[in-house]
Structure 1
Amino acid sequence: MSYIGHRRFLPRYHPYQFQKKAFNNEEEIEIALEPLKGEEILAQVQRLNFWLGKKKANSRATDINEKFAGRKNLFFSIDYWKSLYVRHTLDVMHIEKNVCESLVGTLLDIPGKSKDGFATRMDLDEMGVRKELLPRVGQNGTKLPPACYTLSREEKKNFCKTLFENKVPDVHLVREVKLCGPVYLRWIDQFERQMKILKDYVQNRDKPEGCIAESYIAKEAIEFCIEYLYEVDEIGITPKKYRFDVGLLLPSGCVVRIDHKLWVQVEIQLNESRNNILEALRWIAHGPRPEVIKYQGYEINGYRFHTKERDDLRVVQNSGVYLDANTFQISIAKDKNHVVANMSFYGVIQEIWELDYNQFKIPVFKCDWAENNRVIKKDEQGLTLVNLNRIGHKDDGFILASQPTQVFYVEDQLDPRWSIVIVTPRGEYIYDSREDLGDIMLEHRNSSNLMPSVELFDKNE
């Protein structure tokens, strides 16, 4: 299910751009168009006439301008409208609802909600593609052949179960977020909540407008006075006062005394990571205080990490971690020829510690890592699967908070022992004001290891 020509918006050299039979028998090699600026759109519609209301039915267009009349946006009459990067903030909640209903309705074949019907299949005949999906007329009526996305009854149950049980990180990244801020500050829910606040201002139902105006002015006056108070923030979302690369421990920590064996594991990790900082090494060699503070969350490098215990109480998942590290590898236990190679580790954060070395503090994660031997694999779609039930590396469970990449796990309904690994995009970006505000195009190298082979659909050509 895709729009013709929309494969250009995938990352460059994506395998889907070179597949033919799966789409419209053509490769998609064009580059995605960059969003037009307001000045460019205004230049295209500047000469067009427009009017308000409906046009008379008996009127006829006399020139090219009148044929396209009514297409020029009325907001361009505002002086600053053409200078806005985002001219229309669409409501995310309704868009997600409509798109989700269309996708789920098509996959589950819900009557009235599915986008796959007789008219859709006849469009394929007009386009000259996917002849095997055209409607078949028989004695018992017209039937639609099953498509690649047609699910059986058991597959529909697994699909619904996955949607119900799935937890994802709390991020939402699109171009508009970069320009307009977080989605939850500008979708329609925000205005509906504000209407609820304004309605609560009404004390005299005979004069509701006066009550709202009086209470609103009083609230604005109080917030104005707060600006002159020292170290007092106005009501709203607390501004983040930490550096992007340093990190921030989330509140509600507790002090505990740690066993000596765990201290040894932490010291090994710190000594390996701080070998170029002599002053820090002296304090590390001296040792931290015997008590550590345990936290439930930590923010660093654009990620928000939580412990598994906290994730179990929430509807999102922020405890999955991935680490790509160099390690010694041997073929058998008696092999003395160690080989240094790159290895991937997947795990779940169990505890977050803050080590106090008097002069500085170091946050570390205590994780349960999945075994690397026969518990990490790739399926035919190029997805990474890991068995989180088989825990390994029990003597090396600590990492620095700055080291891991955040991932989240989706249970494989065909085999619940395995979980699909999906990398979490960063929640924040560092960029200067001179960079392009268009969509970012990624260059994919070795993408054939991540997606299905192109030959799957074009092997007969």
Structure 2
Amino acid sequence: MHIEKNVCDSIIGTLLEIPGKNKDGIAARLDLLNMGVKTDLQPKYGERRTRLPPGPWNLSRAEKREVCNSFYGMKVPEGYSSNIKNLVSLQDSRLLGLKSHDCHTLMQQLLPVAIRSVLEKPARYAITRLCFFFNAICAKTVDVSKLDKLEEDVVVTLCLLEKYFPPSFFDIMVHLVVHLVREVHLCGPVYFRWMYPFERYMKVLKGYVQNRTRPEGCIAERYIAEEAVEFCTQHLSDVSTVGVPSSQKMGVSKPLSGCTNMEEVLPYIEQHMIHIKTAYPKFRKSTKWLQDKHNSTFIQWLRFKVQSELEEDNHGVSENLRWLAAGPNMAVPLYRSYLIKGIKFNIKAQDDVRTTQNSGVYLLAHTMQVASAKDKNPILSNMGFYGVIQEIWDLDYQKFTIPVFRCDWIDSSGLVVDELGFTLVDLSKIGHRNDQFVLASQVKQIFFVDDPMHRGWSVVLSMPNREYNDVIGAEVLGDVIIECEPFTRGMPNVDTFDELVGGLGGQNIRGFGQKTISAKNTGSRL
């Protein structure tokens, strides 16, 4: 984690020319002259001052301002990192006060987005490759068979950086990057060995200190008092645990969820499809018509089917299925925020007045894809949907409640993937308006960052996989792991790096202006 911080400081300090962290200067240029490389970058001595010609790593004043504005406008989910806006100084175009975890999030995901529209393409891609390496090395699951290839790639990445950065950039910390893969071979995944959880808990302990002359006594007394109070809250009703804040209109998912296990409903879905094919033999081969008919009539058929089975003596209808078939209460409460497995979701209106972004969701659904309205051969396959939560409903089935999100889903025409694997969406292109609802348990939280290269488009970034064992009050130790799934962005292949640098025309993005296959909503998300 300290190697990652120092490398991040060197890159940002050199790009933004931050005093004390900038690896460029007169001495670095003289080193180039003595080595006989890049002699066109040697210092130009004048009568009053010495001028340094711009190198591949230098940003213009407008580009520095653009990078800082990109960081300044980033809103990340709650608990993802500190507020990036507080780290940016727009007056002198710098990033100030970066902590180790701030550098971690920058190198993992945010820095490649901020520099998308600046620098020459070879230098920009070399930095992006290094960020992808840190993303891969910090993954929670590591494929041992790919570690050798990963080590080869990072060596080539550092060689590419040597082509575009001054020799002074490559200090011992940049060199130690080469040995990180070997450490994974010997010690296992990185997140078992880094210090983020302990540094976070040290901040909690330092907050206990009230008397600076006796810090140890303050920590011990406060810790014992909290343990005693928390033990008492377990035996009292309607009492909140110490340290867990409660906000207005915050819903919390309950351990019992009626639709987390759909095995009880699947047999009825198959029976209903057989019933439709029998009742309408002319449409047996029309997959799309059968699916539409199933979506519009299944709930009424299920209610009648379950009622008829309940009237029999030896029925096998479970209690959960009986309440599902009866339908929810028509009085539906709405929430601005909802907590599910330790992850907080907000509606878009709530995010607009906050410094965090918790309204983005991603859904991988098995749905029907058609090329056009006249397509008679639809394809059933998995497809990803990106959306923004507009409303949070809590459906009451008497015995349990099920949270449901009403989302604005991005139309397929507003979704592209660039040559480096970044997913770009146009949030203004809303589609799938006839199927806006999704179960809260089926989505993954994501967030959107404005693309500085293409105005009006946003880059999709994913949230860490926290894997809470308990819904409320779980201790978070590994929540700083940045997972790419399902947005896998492997490093660009070394063999095709020169092609990416020279053959893609700079700012072009594959997919803009092209027609793509659209997915007609089939209701399969519910």
Structure 2 residue aligned with 1:153: 61
Q: How does 1:147-186 map to 2 (within 5 A)?
A: 147=56, 149-169=57-77, 170-171=79-80, 182=197, 185-186=200-201
Say which SS state the counterpart of residue 324 (structure 1) adopts.
strand
Number of aligned residue pairs: 326
Q: Could you say if the C-alpha distance between residues 242 and 270 of structure 1 is closer, same or farther in structure 2, counting changes exceeding 3 Å?
A: farther
Say if 2:423 is the partner of 1:387.
no
Q: Could you say if the C-alpha distance between residues 325 and 120 of structure 1 is closer, same or farther in structure 2, counting changes exceeding 3 Å?
A: farther
Distance 1:443 1:353 in 2: 29
Structure 2 residue aligned with 1:337: 377
Distance 2:198 2:223 in 1: 25
Say if 1:296 and 1:307, in contact at 8 Å, map to a contact too.
yes
Q: Which amino acid in structure 2 is aligned with residue 414 of structure 1?
A: M
Say which SS state the counterpart of residue 412 (structure 2) adopts.
coil
1:270-301 superposed Cα distances (whole Å, 9 cap, x missing partner): 96xx9999644443332211111212223335
Say if 2:239 is the partner of 1:198.
no
Q: Could you say if the C-alpha distance between residues 354 and 329 of structure 1 is closer, same or farther in structure 2, counting changes exceeding 3 Å?
A: same
Structure 1 residue aligned with 2:243: 236
Say which SS state the counterpart of residue 291 (structure 1) adopts.
coil
Residue 183 of structure 1 deviates from its aligned partner by: 6.3
Distance 1:452 1:291 in 2: 55
Q: How does 1:148-297 map to 2 (within 5 A)?
A: 149-169=57-77, 170-171=79-80, 182=197, 185-188=200-203, 190=204, 193-195=207-209, 197-198=210-211, 224=228, 227=231, 230-231=235-236, 235-237=242-244, 279=318, 280-297=320-337
Q: How does 1:11-30 map to 2 (within 5 A)?
A: none
Residue 108 of structure 1 deviates from its aligned partner by: 1.4
Q: Could you say if the C-alpha distance between residues 325 and 115 of structure 1 is closer, same or farther in structure 2, counting changes exceeding 3 Å?
A: same
Structure 2 residue aligned with 1:320: 360
Give the alignment's TM-score, normalised by structure 1: 0.55
Q: How does 1:307-456 map to 2 (within 5 A)?
A: 307-373=347-413, 375-428=414-467, 451=492, 454-456=495-497
Say which SS state the counterpart of residue 64 (structure 2) adopts.
helix
1:195-222 superposed Cα distances (whole Å, 9 cap, x missing partner): 4x337xxxxxxxx87xx98999699679
Q: Which amino acid in structure 2 is aligned with residue 290 of structure 1?
A: M
Which of the numbers 42, 45, 48 marks the counterpart of 1:136? 42
What percent of counterpart residues are identical? 36
Q: Could you say if the C-alpha distance between residues 269 and 288 of structure 1 is closer, same or farther in structure 2, counting changes exceeding 3 Å?
A: farther
Distance 2:17 2:72 in 1: 18
Distance 1:145 1:167 in 2: 32
Gaps of 5+ in 2: 82-100, 102-137, 139-189, 247-251, 259-294, 307-315, 471-477, 503-526
Say if 1:326 and 1:341, in contact at 8 Å, map to a contact too.
yes
Residue 450 of structure 1 deviates from its aligned partner by: 6.7
Structure 1 residue aligned with 2:277: none
Q: Which amino acid in structure 1 is aligned with residue 201 of structure 2?
A: R
Distance 1:444 1:423 in 2: 7
1:225-244 superposed Cα distances (whole Å, 9 cap, x missing partner): 774573266633479x9889
Residue 331 of structure 1 deviates from its aligned partner by: 2.3
Residue 150 of structure 1 deviates from its aligned partner by: 2.8
Q: Could you say if the C-alpha distance between residues 311 and 226 of structure 1 is closer, same or farther in structure 2, counting changes exceeding 3 Å?
A: closer
Say which SS state the counterpart of residue 208 (structure 2) adopts.
helix
Structure having the larger proportion of residues in helix: 2
Say which SS state the counterpart of residue 321 (structure 1) adopts.
strand
Distance 1:109 1:381 in 2: 27
Residue 113 of structure 1 deviates from its aligned partner by: 3.4
Distance 1:301 1:449 in 2: 28
Say if 1:122 and 1:134, in contact at 8 Å, map to a contact too.
no
Q: Could you say if the C-alpha distance between residues 154 and 425 of structure 1 is closer, same or farther in structure 2, counting changes exceeding 3 Å?
A: same
Q: Which amino acid in structure 1 is aligned with residue 460 of structure 2?
A: V
Distance 2:347 2:396 in 1: 20
Q: Which amino acid in structure 2 is aligned with residue 393 of structure 1?
A: H
Distance 1:137 1:418 in 2: 40
Gaps of 5+ in 1: 1-8, 10-89, 200-207, 248-266, 432-436
Residue 186 of structure 1 deviates from its aligned partner by: 2.2
- RMSD after superposition: 5.2
Say if 1:382 and 1:452, in contact at 8 Å, map to a contact too.
no
Distance 2:55 2:398 in 1: 67
Residue 103 of structure 1 deviates from its aligned partner by: 4.1
Say which SS state the counterpart of residue 198 (structure 1) adopts.
coil
Structure 1 residue aligned with 2:12: 104
Q: Could you say if the C-alpha distance between residues 393 and 447 of structure 1 is closer, same or farther in structure 2, counting changes exceeding 3 Å?
A: closer
Structure 1 residue aligned with 2:512: none
Q: Could you say if the C-alpha distance between residues 423 and 134 of structure 1 is closer, same or farther in structure 2, counting changes exceeding 3 Å?
A: farther
Q: Which amino acid in structure 1 is aligned with residue 61 of structure 2?
A: R
Residue 393 of structure 1 deviates from its aligned partner by: 0.8
Residue 423 of structure 1 deviates from its aligned partner by: 1.2
Q: Which amino acid in structure 2 is aligned with residue 426 of structure 1?
A: N
Residue 353 of structure 1 deviates from its aligned partner by: 0.9
Give the alignment's TM-score, normalised by structure 2: 0.49
Q: Could you say if the C-alpha distance between residues 366 and 114 of structure 1 is closer, same or farther in structure 2, counting changes exceeding 3 Å?
A: same
Q: Which amino acid in structure 1 is aligned with residue 211 of structure 2?
A: L
Distance 1:447 1:215 in 2: 43
Residue 245 of structure 1 deviates from its aligned partner by: 9.8
Structure 1 residue aligned with 2:340: 300
Q: Could you say if the C-alpha distance between residues 294 and 125 of structure 1 is closer, same or farther in structure 2, counting changes exceeding 3 Å?
A: farther
Q: Could you say if the C-alpha distance between residues 223 and 445 of structure 1 is closer, same or farther in structure 2, counting changes exceeding 3 Å?
A: closer
